[in-house]
Homo-oligomer: A and B are copies of this chain.
Amino acid sequence: MCRWLAYSGTPVLLETILYRPAHSLIDQSLHSKMGVETTNGDGFGVGWYGPDSDDGSPAVVREIGPAWSNRNLREIAGHVRSPLFFAHIRASTGTAVQQTNSHPFRHGRWMWMHNGAIAGFHRIRRDLALAVDPRLFPDIEGSTDSEMMFFLALTLGLEEDPPGAVARMVGLVERTGRAHGVEFPVQMTVAVTDGARLWAFRYSSEGASRSLFYSTRVDTLRALHPDMGFLRGVSDETRLIVSEPLGDLPGAWNEVPESTYGVVQPDGDEMVPFVPQAA
């Protein structure tokens, strides 16, 4: 299991979000409160969109050690500003600790990160691999269930219809798992983005999903906490989605309901029930 955060809004130095909050993601790498594991030290990654890419694709920096002691992450976080970025800290559920198993995963302009697991993945990995579009298959670099979910979602139309593709991916994994005797195949919170919009999913086959929270609109927070400087510097629509709250600010965090996904987008956020589909 893992912890992650997704930021969308006014461009900020990454460190504003990654290091400065009381219970920042870096703090969670050592002292997660809501995760299955207290420690998330099996690799990390950060991916950001910025003005300086040639083709609009995000930069993705991934490492194999713990985030809490990584000096390069702190350097990048202190000198890179972005309006949309992902950060992820990993606690391996068995697969190798290696760069290609750290999140976020990238395909063209798209980024994907995941907390959770496919139950019985070892047993159904081959069947899932066969379901990946043969043209995409050679690009699978790592050995995680998370990357496999990404490639299945890409196969099933992620770039055209993200919520539909994720629903079909979950349906496929559930059907495949159950065919192998796994009762509850999927446990997930997932974030995915194309650099413009951001989708976040909370779902598990047994209806007991890992925690997921989104931040209150900044104008509401600003009214509640007029003394907080940070809130004055960012737009009303600035939004954070996180595995667990970054601090105890009253009114700041709202739990994403079970079996739900949210969309963060320029023309108004949405929260929608999530139902797996037959692929």
Tell me the A residues contacting B by CB distance below 8 Å.
Answer: 13, 30-31, 37-39, 41-42, 48, 50, 52-54, 58-66, 69, 71-72, 75-76, 78-81, 92, 95-100, 122-123, 125-126, 129-130, 134, 137-138, 140-143
12 contacts between A and B (CB under 8 A): A13-B54, A38-B39, A41-B41, A42-B66, A50-B79, A59-B79, A62-B71, A63-B72, A98-B100, A129-B137, A130-B130, A142-B143
* Nearest residue, chain B, Cβ from A42: B69
Smallest beta-carbon distance A182→chain B, Å: 14
How many Å lie between the Cα of A38 and that of B68 in the bound state? 14
Smallest beta-carbon distance A110→chain B, Å: 16
- Inter-chain contact A61/B78, CB cutoff 8 Å: no
- Inter-chain contact A78/B53, CB cutoff 8 Å: yes
Smallest beta-carbon distance A151→chain B, Å: 12
- Inter-chain contact B60/A75, CB cutoff 8 Å: yes
Smallest beta-carbon distance A46→chain B, Å: 10
- Inter-chain contact A76/B78, CB cutoff 8 Å: no
Smallest beta-carbon distance A78→chain B, Å: 7
> Which 5 A-B pairs rank lowest in CB-CB distance, beginning with the nearest?
A59-B79, A98-B98, A126-B137, A52-B81, A122-B138
Q: A72-B63, A138-B126 are in contact. Are A143 and B96 (CB under 8 A)?
A: no
Q: A52-B79, A98-B99, A98-B100 are in contact. Are A134 and B126 (CB under 8 A)?
A: yes
Contact of A72 among B31, B65, B72, B126 (CB under 8 A): B72
How many Å lie between the Cα of A63 and that of B142 in the bound state? 17
Contact of A137 among B37, B125, B137 (CB under 8 A): B125
How many Å lie between the Cα of A123 and that of B134 in the bound state? 9
How many Å lie between the Cα of A134 and that of B62 in the bound state? 31
- Inter-chain contact A99/B96, CB cutoff 8 Å: yes
Q: Which residues of B contact A60 (CB under 8 A)?
A: 75
* Nearest residue, chain B, Cβ from A143: B141
